[in-house]
A and B are shown apart, each in its own frame.
Chain A
Amino acid sequence: MADKVKLLEVNRLKKYFHAGKKKVLKAVDDVSFYVYKGETLGLVGESGCGKSTVGRTIINLYKATSGNVIYDGMNVQQKLSVRDLKKYKKKMQMIFQDPYSSLNPRMTVAEIIAEGIDNHAPGISRERKMEKVYQLLELVGLHSSHANRYPHEFSGGQRQRIGIARALAVEPEFIIADEPIAALDVSIQAQIVNLLRELQRGKQLTYLFIAHDLSMVKHISDRVAVMYLGQLVELSGSEKLYANPLHPYTKALLSAVPLPDPDLERTRERIILKGDVPNPLHPPCGCRFRTRCPEAKAICAEAAPEWRETERDHFVACHIYSACW
């Protein structure tokens, strides 16, 4: 596949938060990856590892502490002109875990979606606008008769559809979906995931899909990035990552997922990690995973492993895969 184009590049991104006197929380600490146009990149990791912060920094909700976010050739963490910033914001939309808290309860569904259309195409006639609202509702599997209802009149899955319709109203190219199905039931999760996939095909969308459910991430993603305590530990094609994980954390994470297949569950050897994720205010020196890593050696406390491409499109940060092991 020679014609893969990098739509988004994230280079050495850092986002630090001040957490009280002289305390710095390194929520995202030197993260680099890219997203190809038209693909889905999954971003997984346990809660608090920095997934949402990555997403929010990319979409400019947070100002990066350092590093670059380059979108379609434009460095968006630099000072942008109002015009460029506006242009950028239109190209990117975010979908959230809890659609309810992100939908204004006092606005009708039509008003919520129309807001996006106004943003995208100011001055559009009211008639055209309502036509588009109805189109979008149908597109996400709702009915035009839902247009005049309020968010609380809908189920969780339907609210997520409204959230998706709102995002699509801006006609974005890139969607950051931050745990969009985590709050939904299994049978409804599948509805939303299928919808996201169809929309991607129909509209050539690019996704950054943030989640902690590894089975679902594998299903939806072309490539998957694994994050631990503010850093990426591994990134590769999703089939490959699941069949042949390199990083000890990826291995443990995959082996911890219970599978809906009793025969497999009876025969699997599980890697059970010891202890908890360390306090992000005081991450371990060297490799951040070393306090829980079953394969840690002396060097792992001395130096942080580098983020290296071991083969094309397979990145890993672990001393096992570097010369000094």
Chain B
Amino acid sequence: MEKILSVENLHVSFYSDGGEIAAVRGVSFDVNKGETLAIVGESGSGKSVTAKTLMKLLPKQNSIIKQGDVKYGGKNLVQLTNRDMEKLRGSEISMVFQDPMTSLNPTMTIGKQVMEGLKRHRTMSKKTAYTRTVELLELVGIPDPGERINQYPHQFSGGMRQRVVIAMALACNPKMLIADEPTTALDVTIQAQILELMKELQKKFQTAIILITHDLGVVANMAQRVAVMYAGEIMESGTLDEIFYQPKHPYTWGLLSSMPKLHADRSLPLTPIPGTPPDLSHLPEGCPFAPRCQYALKVCHQYEPGKTKVSTTHTVSCWLEDERAPKVKKPEGIGGMQRGRQSKIAGS
């Protein structure tokens, strides 16, 4: 495995009238060539802020990177000048957002926008750029690309726009794609198309993907590794199977058991996580999940847990992993519920 990006102890805050919002607090992870790392968590947990930090897209007026490094190809992106980052953006690292219109100009034809992206990073003749644009649109599944190239974004459906954005993101064959909820605004049949497309293109170009999502189904479909975020921190990270079949963190347990399973008995009630995520400008002492955690110990309300490595790939931040803590078994019904059991569902 070739490590291409490594984030170390990242801290990002915002300043508002209400004081400091500690949006990202000590986040670390690596991304390997050609793999998909999913960052999953509820809204406000700091996923987008993490992504924007990597891309240097944080709003200048009220944000600050308080600490941490983002290492990529021998450089520390945190210290890069905006001009150097500009060169990297699009050519080496690209980003796709939930709303494709974030990346599209409504007053410019689709073709012109893709061509401009191409020419920004490489010198090429108009004719080559045109041919390459048609190829790219075809690659991402736009029907009649020769015709659609002259149309404007409003003439495209949501799914088609997201395809165009993916074409633009991949135009220069970047090593890494950051996709922030790329299918959240799409209908489920269109989501299936886009996820399939992303996997296909990833295989073809060996692109590493950081996939940000709140949907554990999408994670299970796309990722090889997973980081679970809560209140600006990574609570647990591991391989896909470790997170889904041997989860160790009460928050991961909570997420998994609050989801209904399409293939499970509907008479079983869901187990929600009580309460709501903490206010990031008034964080509690200790573990940020403690106010909602049914396993919380006294120590959890006073001190933050350290990171425990449960395998070479699996890390957990929870006091329950401390050898002095009482042994707790993960709740019934999650972690390998389906393992070894035949289940009949549509499409399997």
Contacts and interface: CB of A to CB of B under 8 A. Distances in A.
Contacts of B261: 215, 259-261
Contacts of A253: 188-189
A22 B159 CA distance: 29
Contacts of B258: 186-187, 189-190
A214 B262 contact: yes
B244 A261 contact: yes
B157 interface: yes
Interface in B158-188: 159-160, 187-188
Given A255-B347, A272-B193, A218 B42 contact: no
Contacts of B188: 46, 212, 214, 253, 256-257
Contact of A254 (B191, B219, B346): B346
B150 interface: no
A259 B345 contact: yes
Contact of A264 (B189, B218, B271, B338): B338
A197 B244 CA distance: 27
Interface string B112-127: 0000000000000000
A276 B190 contact: yes
Interface stretch (B71-79, B90-98, B209-217, B303-311): B209-217
Contact of A260 (B187, B195, B219, B254): B219
A212 to B, nearest CB: 7
B339 A260 contact: no
B204 interface: no
A309 interface: no
Interface in A182-212: 185-191, 193-194, 197, 212
Interface residues of B, number: 54
B343 interface: yes
Interface in B122-165: 143, 157, 159-160
Interface residues of A, number: 52
B274 interface: yes
Contacts of A218: 260, 262, 266
Interface stretch (A31-39, A71-79, A101-109, A235-243): A235-243
B348 A258 contact: no
Nearest to B195: A258
A190 B257 CA distance: 9
A267 interface: yes
A312 B209 CA distance: 48
Nearest to B160: A276
B80 interface: no
Contacts of B338: 261, 263-264
Interface string B188-227: 1111110110000000000000000011111111000000
A251 B188 CA distance: 12
Contact of A188 (B143, B221, B276): B276
A217 to B, nearest CB: 9
Contacts of B348: 264, 267-269
Contacts of B297: none
Contacts of B108: none
A276 B159 CA distance: 8
B347 A251 contact: yes
Given A186-B258, A242-B345, A260 B189 contact: no
Contacts of A259: 217, 220-221, 261-263, 345
B215 A258 contact: yes
B342 to A, nearest CB: 11
Contact of A262 (B187, B214, B240, B262): B240
Contact of A187 (B244, B269, B272, B345): B272
Contacts of A158: 276
Interface in B12-40: none
A13 B320 CA distance: 57
B200 to A, nearest CB: 11
B255 interface: yes
Nearest to B226: A262
A273 B214 CA distance: 24
B241 interface: yes
A238 B260 CA distance: 14
B67 interface: no
A152 interface: no
Contacts of B10: none
Contact of A186 (B193, B214, B266, B345): B214
A211 B245 CA distance: 29
Given A256-B189, A259-B261, A245 B273 contact: no
A245 B346 contact: yes
A85 interface: no
B187 A47 contact: yes
Nearest to A47: B187
Interface in A252-289: 252-265, 267-273, 275-277
Nearest to A157: B276
Contact of A191 (B214, B241, B255, B274): B274
B345 A262 contact: no
9 contacts: A185-B43, A190-B258, A190-B273, A215-B217, A251-B347, A257-B188, A258-B195, A260-B244, A271-B347
Interface of A: 46-47, 155, 157-158, 185-191, 193-194, 197, 212, 214-216, 218-220, 238-239, 242-243, 245, 251-265, 267-273, 275-277
Given A251-B346, A261-B263, 17 more contacts: A157-B276, A186-B258, A187-B273, A190-B273, A212-B188, A215-B217, A219-B266, A219-B270, A238-B266, A242-B263, A254-B345, A260-B244, A261-B338, A264-B348, A268-B347, A268-B348, A270-B192
Closest 3 CB pairs of A and B: A255-B347, A258-B217, A190-B272
